[in-house]
Every structure is written in structure tokens, then in C-alpha cells.
């Protein structure tokens, strides 16, 4: 059996190189892989392209990675009113951002997961989001071409994981996590609980094991903001 369960948070983020593209689950303070983020700060990986809904909240979520200067570029839908470390670095020109409509962010990641090369949408037509994108008319509607968003790694927060990598999520902590888990080359999961294989009923599994590569017990920070 392929061994996916890692003993520590630090070994779970081992080997992530400078310049990596990393997706981070979470929305509204819920479902963020806060302990993997802390481990990545300890690791010191630089020049990261981060893909996440927002850009940190106060001292929490992605903020430690902006504070430490490890993120170079971010793809996000909603930087957030309390993303102070991001705002500071962005104002100095140390961090660049691509703003993406939230549902299109999801769908571009899902396109990557699904092996699609792009899709047309009416979302963002005639807005700043459309700048530089191919536009055409389909069924009488103006639409723009959106391309997939790939990543080298996804950092995921699950509620339960078995050793194979089947995952469930707690309440609305699900949010971006299942999409990102499918879209990255290497998916790393911190989970509240590691349960025996078979303890998650097949019809309850939200993320099937095939998408998961590393599993580690969450320890430390539950809600970071």
C-alpha cells in the first residue's frame, strides 16, 4: 500500500521548492489549512504563487506567508478588508495579484482537474477581468475565454481522512477544499481526525482517495482569524 500518512506537519511539506504554485483551501475563516501554512513558514519556501479565495485576515490564514515575504504572486477573488500584510507588500510592489471572479476561480481550477483547456463564460465581459482575453459571441451572448489554473500543490483542511486519502469536511469548511484537492499535482491534507480505512462510508466520501497524496494530523491552530 502506498504510504500517505506523514508523521509531522514539517515532513508533510518537505520538498516544496521555491517558485511553487500552491492552492490554499478556506473561506470566511473556515476550512483553512492553518497548520500546513505554519509549517510552510518554517520551511521558508520563497517566490510562491498562492491561489486562494482571499489574501489573509489579520494575523491568520495566508497572512503569515505575506508577513514573511514568501509569496510573490497571488490569484484570488477577494483580497479581504483585513489582509494587512498582503496590502502592505502589494503597495510596495513586492506582491502582484490577479483578481478572478470567485466562481470562475473555482471553474478554472476544476478545468485543470478535468483536463480541459478552457471554457467560455459571460462572467466578466466588459470588465477589467476581460482585459487581454479572447472574446467571442456564442448563442448571441458576448463571452470570454477562461483558461485553467494548475498548481503544483494544494493545501487542504479536512475533517476526517482515512489512510487511503478519502476525505470528508465539516459543515461549510468544505468550500474550496474539494476543488483544489482535485486540481493540484500533489495534494497535502491536514485533518482533524485520521480514521481506519472503511470508517468513512463510501457514499459519504466527498474527496475520493485518488486525489490525495499526503495526510497529516492537524495540530495547533484550528481557526486562525
C-beta of 11 vs 96, nearer to other proteins? 96
Q: Under the criterion CB under 8 A, does residue 223 sit at the interface with other proteins?
A: yes
**Which segment (4-12, 39-47, 62-70, 107-115) binds other proteins by CB under 8 A?**
107-115
107 binds other proteins (CB under 8 A): yes
Q: What percentage of the chain's residues is helix, strand, coil (to nearest 5)? A: 25, 30, 45
- CA–CA–CA angle 62, 75, 131 (5° rounding): 155
Residue 119 in contact with other proteins, rule: CB under 8 A: no
CA distances from 70 to 28, 38, 153, 177, 208 (A): 22, 12, 15, 22, 31
Binding residue count for other proteins, defined by CB under 8 A: 48
**Positive or negative, the Cα torsion across 176, 182, 184, 190?**
positive
The sheet carrying 135-138 orders its strands as 119-121, 141-146, 135-138
- List binders of other proteins among 127-166 (CB under 8 A): 127-129, 142
- Of residues 159 through 218, those in contact with other proteins by CB under 8 A are 169-179, 206
Least gap, CB of 142 to other proteins (angstroms): 8
Q: Determine which residue in the list 46, 78, 186, 195 makes contact with other proteins, applying CB under 8 A.
A: 78
- Start-end of H helices in 152-201: 177-183
Asked whether 56 and 34 are in contact (CB, 8 A), the reply is no
75: contact with other proteins by CB under 8 A: no
| Sites of contact with other proteins (CB under 8 A) | 27-31, 53, 77-81, 87, 90-91, 97, 99-104, 106-107, 109-110, 121-129, 142, 169-179, 206, 223
Amino acid at each position: 500500500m502506498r504510504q500517505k500518512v506523514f508523521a509531522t506537519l514539517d515532513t508533510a511539506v518537505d520538498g516544496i521548492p521555491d517558485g511553487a504554485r500552491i492552492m490554499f483551501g478556506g473561506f470566511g475563516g473556515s476550512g483553512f489549512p492553518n497548520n500546513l501554512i505554519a509549517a510552510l513558514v518554517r520551511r521558508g519556501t520563497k517566490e510562491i504563487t498562492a491561489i486562494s479565495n482571499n489574501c489573509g485576515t489579520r494575523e491568520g490564514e495566508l497572512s503569515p506567508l505575506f508577513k514573511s515575504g514568501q509569496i510573490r504572486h497571488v490569484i484570488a477573488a477577494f483580497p479581504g478588508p483585513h489582509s494587512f500584510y498582503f496590502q502592505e507588500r502589494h503597495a510596495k510592489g513586492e506582491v502582484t495579484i490577479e483578481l478572478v471572479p470567485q466562481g470562475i476561480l473555482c471553474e478554472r481550477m476544476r478545468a485543470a482537474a478535468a483536463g480541459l483547456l478552457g471554457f467560455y463564460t459571460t462572467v466578466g465581459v466588459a470588465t477589467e477581468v476581460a482585459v487581454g482575453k479572447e472574446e467571442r459571441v456564442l448563442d448571441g451572448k458576448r463571452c470570454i475565454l477562461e483558461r485553467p489554473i494548475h498548481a503544483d500543490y494544494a493545501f487542504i483542511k479536512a475533517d476526517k481522512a482515512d489512510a487511503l486519502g478519502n476525505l470528508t469536511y465539516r459543515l461549510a469548511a468544505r468550500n474550496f477544499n474539494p476543488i483544489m484537492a482535485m486540481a493540484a499535482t500533489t495534494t497535502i491534507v491536514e485533518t482533524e481526525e485520521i480514521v481506519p480505512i472503511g470508517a468513512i462510508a463510501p457514499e459519504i466520501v466527498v474527496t475520493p482517495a485518488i486525489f490525495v497524496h499526503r495526510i497529516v494530523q492537524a495540530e495547533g491552530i484550528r481557526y486562525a482569524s
